[in-house]
Structure 1
């Protein structure tokens, strides 16, 4: 059984640091809202594939109980506990939840769960537990990592974020969420990840196994360069622009997908950055970062294109392609949102 936490205070810390760095110009309250929304979506991605209403209800209760009240990580057992406690409507509706729950459990377990075992677990009888009782009561030695974790969980920052997150889940409807995203989009450049998406990719992604839109195609280079130069991007110039196009063609990857990744990773490398020339050598942050692996644009673009081609070839049916690539390419759970948004934006500019 995979006992990794679905969401931990350390995950919250990673998201918080990313947002506070990426969106430094925004007011504190706005950044906290972005962090809270990202945490909510990160948890929802790791829950069983239940209908939206049920998944939202689960996320709301898990955040309230685990993160806010008990200030601890969210475990798979918490999901089953809540599924046994919440009201799910009619018996027929409850039975409809069984299949996605079973699939989710068996993905996380070495042994196979049966419908009978699941029903027993939900009724809190003698079904198997995801965490062995002995492990639950065993006191592990306090390590430096644990001390840091406890210190962070007790911090005022975590409490503020958790409280804001809970309030957002409790009161936010789809309309309110869209309004908040629109407000954030008024801030130039830094807020692009949170502008409501167009349907360029989402409609294509709905077709099971249809990901041809990720493959190489000719683009309107002048239009893309004009957009990037409007952002004072060094990548709009040679040899950077041409090297990315060349690698995309070599590995049959859409050039705009590669450019979108550089936009997410390094904002297309603004010339005003004092390290612009070094960053432009590895704007994809392959092998962790441009600082750790400062090669040249030909090499980094080739590595990135090869990886994206491999990931794109293995996307499961009905899986969002950007979220699928996110799992391997980046630890940041917001990466897929940013790349998708930038890809859609660049695609809308492309006239070919």
Structure 2
């Protein structure tokens, strides 16, 4: 069993978010800074809660932020989420199921529903008796985790043994249970007779067909298909349009940058969108390098940042979606901005005019793109 002690949101995380927002949005008023920071904290906590209805999740998020982060200045941990979840109406089957799945995922084990309900009821009683004290929350979570592990080991053994027992004994059905099938035999015989009759009719038809008069067939003149060129999605030059790349070499490059985008699920999402939008995959990755340094694994907010490393709609803190959707928005923006480019203007510089406020953004992207292409070509030799 893996006991989850990793904090979900720490005071250091909050300070990091504050610092980032102050740098990124220096021109905005303090009130707007607070709104962005609060929204980011809510998103981080929301992603770690059980799959309750949205209204309940928001209530629990506000409770955790106000009581744990603001009042107690402590990190939000699994024990706090668990304790807060025990305050919802667990007589509702859907809520119990959501908490059950969350706990199994958190502890990386499987607990039967009956055992889980017993453990949760015991934990809720302990918290209620202790008036939900902070230190008690950790004790209750630890106790719940240990007892769940004990129940899980029994379940695992039972599930391994069960299939063997099932294959050892073959039970014969009593006569009473066979009777309904016997009663259906006349019906089955009738169906079989119909099938035989149809087969005979078909055989007779095949015998007669050769002697029937043949209708003259119209002449068939083959027509060569005309290829219609697909409409171009953008006006990028050929070297910036989609091409297949070596994914393993790309992964090696991203790993050197300690990039979370090296993970196949993230890497492949960006490549998939690049193909759909007819954009060179390395151009999209280069933009993530310029915007968010390829999302370093060591960054406190990497799991949040990876959902929008292109900073579409200002930043990943203001607009946190899925990586695939963020990449699609970035791709559409690139395609739109690539049009009507003067012949003497660099294509990435032309995109820069609206994609980023920094006028030198295109230089950074171009430099990273050249570095990535050089790595891919060198590795290929």
User: TM class, shorter-chain normalised?
Assistant: 0.3 to 0.5
Q: Please, what TM-score do these two structures have when normalized by structure 2?
A: 0.42
Greater relative contact order, per chain length (Cα 8 Å cut-off, separation 6+)? 1
Higher CA-based Rg? 2
